[in-house]
Chain A
Amino acid sequence: MPTYFEKKQLVTPGELLAEGDYLAGNNTYAENNKIYASRIGLADLDNKKVNVVALRSFYFPKVGDMVIGTVLEVGFSGWTVDVKAPYMALLRASDVLSRPFKPQNDELSQVLNAGDLIVAKIASYDRAHDPQLSVGEPGLGKITRGQIIKVTPSKIPRVIGRKGSMISMIKQETGCQIILGLNGVILVTGKNPEDEELAMMAIQKIEEESHTSGLTDRITQFLKEEKVKREENKNE
């Protein structure tokens, strides 16, 4: 039962990865006891499971995911929200108002209007129904300040880093609050726009270099250098 790849090897869709007693993990599929890649990415073996970390993918909703979306439309009893998935997500009015919703009393567009950004969780989704959102937990709801940056959804784990090392480092270095939407939308809120910009530059750098190793150290270095540069500019 051989495997046909080295750790972190770049593989293309259809490449034979392993044969025999292996399990097909992320972005792979099994056929005739053989495992093939189904996306372009980096192959990795975890026990008996063959995974491919995709370099190109899109967001697909999963129950419990935290996402950041844009309100598209105010409907009769709720909102339609664009969460960068192949489906439009629905947010019900009764969920936001936390009391029974009466159309004659409440004007929905005063609560959330088209164009507003929200942080929400996917409450339900299956193959037959569009995803439903919920904002009933602390930290969820309308976004009032900060800046938005978009990355490929498959790179969100890289932004988080091993056990959150990357994201907590950026938070610490820049003093910004960062909310990661699993759909690839990231909200950065800091004390001033400069801090936010710095955090965004770091995130952008992670996206560009996500498949190289030793990234956390390089990003730390980058942030420190960038901060020194800014200090110098201020003093001049």
Chain B
Amino acid sequence: MNEKPEKLIDKKGLRLDGRKPDELRPVKIEVGILSNADGSAYIEQGKNKILAAAFGPREMHPKHLVLPDRMVLRCRYHMAPFSVQERKSPAPSRREVELSKVIREALEPSVFVEYYPRTGVDVFIEVLQADGGTRCASITAASLALADAGIPMRDLVVACAAGKVDDTVVLDLFDTEDKVGCADVPVAFMPNLNAVTLLQMDGILTPEEFEKAVNMAIKGCQKIYALQKEALKTKYMLIGQEEEVEE
């Protein structure tokens, strides 16, 4: 499993897990599954399994972090010790602290923070199982958790990565592709406002490849957005259907 595969793309142009270069992993999203949180969401993207919970707006503690003119958004991205093959120490690592910041900054433009001064919203993201592209899946789930908590938002934020493996630009990299491949470009996107809220790049790409990767990632975002929206609506539609059965 930990051996380095020689080729990431076979002769037919398919990837290690059998996907075409522009194909997403299967995505499953559920909203409102935690009863103690104000809002919550769960996402499975390939082998990724991630929970997100939102609390608030509520009084900010500690008090010195309060901002007089806006709501403070706090994010905590955390990987469970059992989320990867080698036990991960539960203490926040450098990478987790960075991802927490990056996710917060990807979500902040979508939230009307100026509506609720002197308050705070907390988003907790727990990675139960990781297989590459967790930051993107986390953003997608966290945005749903915020919407489920009833926090006013400009748009849902959805994220997807593209990258380069074996000289081919591919969509939605999984763990091995991410580690062995040449480059990874995660993009977070607000589909209705057509705005990018996160853009990172790790690796080397030519300007042409970069543009191709970004466009591919945005297309992937739009596909996930359809599922994300569906998941949010399903939660409220279910109640309506039960009603019809009764009558």
**Which A residues have a C-beta under 8 Å from some C-beta of B?**
10, 12-16, 27, 29, 31, 36, 38-40, 54-58, 60, 86-88, 127-128, 152, 154, 208-209, 211-212
With A10-B236, A13-B154, A36-B154 given, can you name 19 additional A-B contacts, CB distance below 8 Å? A12-B156, A14-B154, A15-B192, A16-B192, A29-B112, A38-B112, A40-B233, A56-B148, A56-B150, A58-B150, A86-B59, A87-B59, A88-B59, A127-B69, A128-B68, A211-B236, A211-B240, A212-B239, A212-B243
Q: Which residues of A contact B69 (CB under 8 A)?
A: 127
Q: Is B92 among interface residues, defined by CB-CB distance under 8 A?
A: no
Q: Which of B57, B117, B150, B232 lies in contact with A127, CB distance below 8 A?
A: B117
Contact call B156/A14, Cβ cutoff below 8 A: yes
A194 CB → nearest B CB, Å: 25
Contact call B236/A36, Cβ cutoff below 8 A: no
Given A14-B193, A211-B236, A58 contacting B57 (CB threshold 8 A):
yes
Given A14-B190, A56-B150, A57-B150, A36 contacting B237 (CB threshold 8 A):
no
Given A10-B236, A56-B39, A86 contacting B116 (CB threshold 8 A):
yes
Complex: A60 Cα to B232 Cα, angstroms: 23
Given A10-B233, A60-B116, A36 contacting B39 (CB threshold 8 A):
no
Q: Which residues of B contact A13 (CB under 8 A)?
A: 110, 147, 152-156
B32 CB → nearest A CB, Å: 9
CB-CB contacts below 8 Å: B48-82 with A:
56-59, 68-69
Contact call B119/A10, Cβ cutoff below 8 A: no
Complex: A13 Cα to B191 Cα, angstroms: 11
Q: Is B160 among interface residues, defined by CB-CB distance under 8 A?
A: no
Closest to B244 in A: A212
Q: Which of B112, B149, B240 lies in contact with A212, CB distance below 8 A?
A: B240
Q: Which residues of B contact A87 (CB under 8 A)?
A: 59, 118-119
Complex: A12 Cα to B239 Cα, angstroms: 17
Q: Which of B147, B150, B233 lies in contact with A154, CB distance below 8 A?
A: B150
How many residues of chain B get a CB closer than 8 Å to chain A's CBs?
36
**Which B residues have a C-beta under 8 Å from some C-beta of A?**
38-39, 56-59, 68-69, 110, 112, 116-119, 147-156, 190-193, 229, 232-233, 236-237, 239-240, 243
Q: Which of A40, A208, A211 lies in contact with B232, CB distance below 8 A?
A: A40
Complex: A211 Cα to B58 Cα, angstroms: 27
Closest to A153 in B: B150
Given A13-B156, A14-B156, A128-B68, A86 contacting B56 (CB threshold 8 A):
yes
Complex: A27 Cα to B115 Cα, angstroms: 12
Contact call B147/A39, Cβ cutoff below 8 A: yes
Q: Which residues of B contact A40 (CB under 8 A)?
A: 147-148, 150, 232-233, 236
Complex: A55 Cα to B240 Cα, angstroms: 13
Contact call B118/A14, Cβ cutoff below 8 A: no
Complex: A41 Cα to B156 Cα, angstroms: 14
Complex: A87 Cα to B58 Cα, angstroms: 7
Contact call A209/B239, Cβ cutoff below 8 A: yes
Contact call A38/B153, Cβ cutoff below 8 A: yes
Q: Which residues of B contact A86 (CB under 8 A)?
A: 56-59, 116, 118-119
Q: Which residues of B contact A56 (CB under 8 A)?
A: 39, 147-150
B118 CB → nearest A CB, Å: 7
